[in-house]
Structures are given as structure tokens and as C-alpha cells.
Amino acid sequence: MPLISQIQAITLDLDDTLWPVAPTIAGAEQDLLEWLCEHAPKTANLTRQSEVKQEIRYQVIAKHQNRLHDLGFLRREMIRECLLKADDDPQLADVAYSVFDTARQRVNLFPGVEDALARLAAKYRLVAISNGTADVYVTPAGPYFCAAFKAHEVGIAKPGVKIFQAAISHLGLVAEQILHVGDDAIADVCGAREAGMQTAWINSEDQAWAYSQPQPWTIRHLSDVAAQLLS
């Protein structure tokens, strides 16, 4: 359990913590495919070949090892490589990526999350820390956050300590006064612990804790955080 009396702010992961990310990405990929069918049909046909897409993904990652924290950049470059391989205009990559990114912002919060955020935001400052490209402010969760830190903007992804330190500095608190909540045992729990923060692990699927560090405060839903901290 966290030391509740010390907590003055809460940082939160976004994908799979506040909303399920898989259906969001699937919808964004479908919007992109439909756009490609109209504007770059050869690329659309190519992207239907999963093995080719996977090969291009590996190539882009190998080529841009210094940009692994920037998922939007990698996605755009994968689209560009698909266009080149299909002999379509690679300059369409920027517009194509914007189609994907617009759809990627359409998220559906897990049931009960908005109520939990509203309750927590009434007492604590809430800050988003995410490796993904979601803009929390254009989601239904947006009104409850006072700041957001994204890996591609900070220059490092979780579990890197720097992204947590950016949030700590913004809040003007010591690390122990901040509770970080997230679903990823490594990126969220281990990363936040390394930064000196308190942690809560959202484990909705009852996964086993498989790490040498002591198991953190483990919950199934953000509402559990609100119930414990506001009781």
C-alpha cells in the first residue's frame, strides 16, 4: 500500500490504464487503409500482406534506433517505406499518418474511469505520462489533467527515469509525494520506482508478479485508487 498521507499528486499512464488501446489502434489502421485504398491503392494492397508489413517494421526500427521513443515518427516512416515499396508517392506519408493519428485519438474510457478521474482531480493534481501518441486533452479524460508528458517530446520512453523526473519537476514535489498509476509492470512500476515515486499497478487480468522487486500495490481498476485515497 502507498503512504497515502504523503501523496500530493498522481501521475497516470494512458493506454490500457484509462482506455483499451487495441481497439483504438485497430480503428486507426482501418481508417488509414481506407484512405490508402483511395489515394495509394498499390500501397493499400501491400499493407494487407502481414509478412511484408512486419519486414518493413523491422527495417524501420533497425534504421532509426535513436528514435525508438517516438512511436509517431516510426509509424510515419513505416507508411513512407510501404509507399516506396509499392511504387506510390512517398510524399503521401505525412498526410496518411495524419489520417491515422486523428483516428488514434478516438478512445473509449474503461467504464468507471471518468468518475474516478473526477473524484481524484478534486483533491490531487493529475499528470499524464505516456509512451504513446495519444493526446489526453482531446479525449474524455482531458478535463481532469493539468499536464501531460509524452515520450516523443521528452526524448525518452518509460521506464527511463527522465520522463518521470520531468513530471516530478513540473509538479514541484519530491518523488515520494507522487503516486504513479499504470498497467505495465516494467514501464510504469519499475520506471516510477527507479525515479523514487510511489506506485500502483493496474492488473485487471490477474497476471503474476514476475520480478525480483517486491510486488507493488496491485489493483484492478482506477476506481480502486479513488476508493483507497479518498476514503
Taking only the tens place, the pLDDT of each residue in 104-147 is 999 999 999 999 999 999 999 999 999 999 999 999 999 999 99
The range of the structural domain enclosing residue 84 comes to: 22-104
Q: What is the CATH number of the domain that holds 98?
A: 1.20.120.1600
Which uninterrupted H or E stretch holds 128?
Answer: strand 125-130
Task: Kindly give, in sequence order, each residue whose CB lies less than 8 Å from that of residue 180, ignoring residues fewer than 6 positions away.
Answer: 10, 11, 12, 13, 129, 164, 188, 189, 192, 197, 198, 199, 200
Evaluate whether 10 touches 147 at the Cβ level (below 8 Å): no
Tell me the mean pLDDT in the region 168-195: 98
Tell me the mean pLDDT in the region 46-69: 93
pTM for the predicted model, two decimal places: 0.93
Identify the domain boundary among 72, 104, 136: 104
The three-point CA angle 21-62-98 to 5° equals: 45
User: Does 210 score more than 80 pLDDT?
Assistant: yes
User: Does 65 score more than 90 pLDDT?
Assistant: yes
Q: What is the CATH number of the domain that holds 114?
A: 3.40.50.1000
Identify the domain boundary among 66, 86, 104: 104
**What pLDDT score does 32 carry?**
97
Which of these, 151, 22, 46, 43, lies nearest to 96 by C-alpha position? 43
15/113 same-domain check: yes
185/202 same-domain check: yes
Q: How far apart are CA 149 and CA 61, in angstroms?
A: 23
Q: How far apart are CA 38 and CA 195, in angstroms?
A: 47
Taking only the tens place, the pLDDT of each residue in 9-55 is 999 999 999 999 999 999 999 999 999 999 999 999 999 998 998 99
- Overall domain count for the chain: 2
14/36 same-domain check: no
28/134 same-domain check: no
Q: How far apart are CA 76 and CA 33, in angstroms?
A: 14
**What pLDDT score does 150 carry?**
97
Mean pLDDT of the chain: 96
User: Does 1 score more than 80 pLDDT?
Assistant: no
State the cell numbers at 54: 512486419
φ, ψ of residue 208 to 5 degrees: the values are -75, 145
DSSP 1: -
